[in-house]
Amino acid sequence: MAEHFIGVDVGTGSARAGVFDADGIMLASAKRNIALYLEAGDIAEQSSEDIWQAVCASVREAIDIAGIDPASIHGIGFDATCSLVVLGEGGKPLPVGASGDPDRNIIVWMDHRALGQAERINATRHTVLDYVGGTISPEMETPKLLWLAEHMPQTFASAWQFFDLADYLTWRATGSLARSICTLTCKWTYLGHEGRWEAGYFETIGLGSLALEGFARIGTQVVPGGTALGQGLSPIAAEAMGLPSGIAVGAGLIDAHAGGIGTVGARGGAGDVQSRMAYVFGTSACTMATTAQPSFVPGVWGPYYSAMMPGLWLNEGGQSAAGAAIEQLTQFHPATPEASRTAASAGLSLVAWLAEEAQRRGGAASAPALIGDIHVVPEFLGNRSPFADPEAKAVIAGLGMDRSMDSLVGLYLAGISGLGYGVRQILAAMAEQGTSIDTIVISGGAGQSALVRQILADATGITIAATQSEEPVLLGSAILGAVAAGRYADIGAAMHAMSQIGETYRPSPDLAAWHERRLTAFAALQQVGRTIRQTAS
């Protein structure tokens, strides 16, 4: 009987499951939407129970669509957003916000309620911060834990476990409290290279109680991604998913890192794991580059030891709003209502339709004519890298009175180009510290368009490659399941066997000077935005 593996990906808006064979070919996938509760003040919450039910339903449907015997599934892996899950005794959810609703027990990655706590933590200049690019983000977990301790002390005190979402899913699947080195090192300040928590850091920032407890509520068993957990899939979880109990469950990864696993080690194409950078382009965007030795890049998270590839150091950058930034940007244009109706009649999202319209109008080569004088710094949710400025805001310049569809397409292209310039700044920051990248391997739903990939290649000046897999993030999680099941010896071997480079997009020499000039304007607008904030505050 053929061997199959399941990858589960929980993003900001949905839970998805994919069924793969041992060669990395996806047989079927399914998804369920998940609730997202947004409130004023940058509040974003979710429900762990809602997410778990969506995961189980997605797995069941994917197996049905694939038409395979569930007994052929030997392993399952999970990835998820780096959101904070809070559980009380017995695994019961606890409220994390003003609603007081215990079902809303997740502080979502994008929630910026802990901005003040992050600022105070950064003011300590603790040496632990050297391993998060020098500046901790409110998107990370210790600022959020501190917010809970200060604003919801009852929840904090009565919490049994604080989980990163990926670790919650593996606990729910197996009952194992083991945490992934990926989640803890990248988002919780665990020192992966030393295999320990730094008690002094927690005492300094006001979370000394966690240290006094021996870190029992945030993780004492830390394992690499893909490690087989517990006794495998528990009978209760197996029944919910329609799978045999006891199949291997691999320790999980943050969703972007699963995209890295599904792409940067692919066979074929130029470069290797250390000269390629993963760019996971979804609601937000993450960049991930690995090095043999630690590289300290100001404003770029890390270096994290073994956080993605075992034995290698990881530098993680990104954009807090990417696909979401483009959606937000396009809503400002007066032609958007008409374009949205047209897109809906064609069965497309607005941004997908705009990509097709831009292609019909000449594609990337026509970007100068379509964009004209419009410049966009799409930092609607701050600058994650390389400036580590969560208070940054978007800047749009060059708008006139044009209300045409061409103008909307141009605004869209200017936004995509702006994302590319942001990636280029991350590349430059890493290059200053000796990390050289020759290929960006893209994944994520927002980066599936050939036009988007070419615009990014032109804007960054770097070759963009895509893998043959249509769902590289799901594939990354399936790779974890395959490694946990023993089908492959390690993640490196599984990456090579299950992923392959497909199309590549090289930067156009004819547009290089134009993009260089726009990059200068982009940086100038960023500085203007910072100056305005400083002088107006």
| Rounded alpha-carbon distances, angstroms, from residue 269 to 9, 457, 468 | 26, 16, 11
Distance of CA 502 to the CA centre of its chain: 22
% of the chain with per-residue pLDDT over 90: 94
Beta pairing, strands 285-291 & 313-319: antiparallel
Report yes or no: 56 and 236 within 8 Å, Cβ to Cβ: no
Q: What is the pLDDT of residue 14?
A: 96
Mean pLDDT of 45-71: 98
| Rounded alpha-carbon distances, angstroms, from residue 351 to 358, 360, 361, 371 | 10, 14, 15, 16
Alpha helices in 436-490 (DSSP H): 450-460, 472-484
**Is the predicted pLDDT of residue 256 greater than 80, yes or no?**
yes
Q: Is 340 exposed, middle or buried (0-12, 13-18, 19+ CB in 10 A)?
A: middle
Q: What is the pLDDT of residues 72-127, one digit of tens each?
A: 999 999 999 999 999 999 999 999 999 999 999 999 999 999 999 999 999 999 99
**Is the predicted pLDDT of residue 444 greater than 90, yes or no?**
no
Beta pairing, strands 248-254 & 73-80: parallel
In this prediction, residue 426 has a pLDDT band, given cuts at 50, 70 and 90, of: very high
Q: What is the pLDDT of residues 288-319, one digit of tens each?
A: 999 999 999 998 999 999 999 999 999 999 99
**Is the predicted pLDDT of residue 522 greater than 70, yes or no?**
yes
| Rounded alpha-carbon distances, angstroms, from residue 535 to 334, 377, 524, 529, 532 | 31, 20, 16, 10, 5
Distance of CA 11 to the CA centre of its chain: 8
Closest by alpha carbon to 321, among 357, 292, 283, 293? 283
**Is the predicted pLDDT of residue 209 greater than 70, yes or no?**
yes
Q: What is the pLDDT of residue 537?
A: 67
- Worst-scoring range by mean pLDDT, 25-39, 46-60, 289-303, 472-486? 289-303
Average pLDDT score, the chain: 96
d(C-alpha 490, C-alpha 227), whole Å:
9
Q: What is the pLDDT of residue 282?
A: 87
d(C-alpha 170, C-alpha 162), whole Å:
13
Angle between helix axes 350-360 and 323-330 (nearest 10 degrees) is 80
Mean pLDDT of 331-355: 97
Q: Which domains does the chain have, with CATH numbers?
A: 4-253 (3.30.420.40), 265-468 (3.30.420.40)
Mean pLDDT of 446-455: 94
d(C-alpha 534, C-alpha 537), whole Å:
6
User: For tokens 């691999």, what's the residue?
Assistant: 250
**Is the predicted pLDDT of residue 271 greater than 90, yes or no?**
no
Closest by alpha carbon to 134, among 433, 427, 379, 532? 433
Angle between helix axes 512-536 and 405-432 (nearest 10 degrees) is 90
Name the pTM for this structure.
0.90
Q: What is the pLDDT of residue 1?
A: 67
Q: What is the pLDDT of residue 133?
A: 87
Helix, strand, coil percentages, rounded to 5, for the chain: 45, 20, 35
Question: Residue 523: CB partners within 8 Å, gap ≥ 6?
Answer: 421, 425
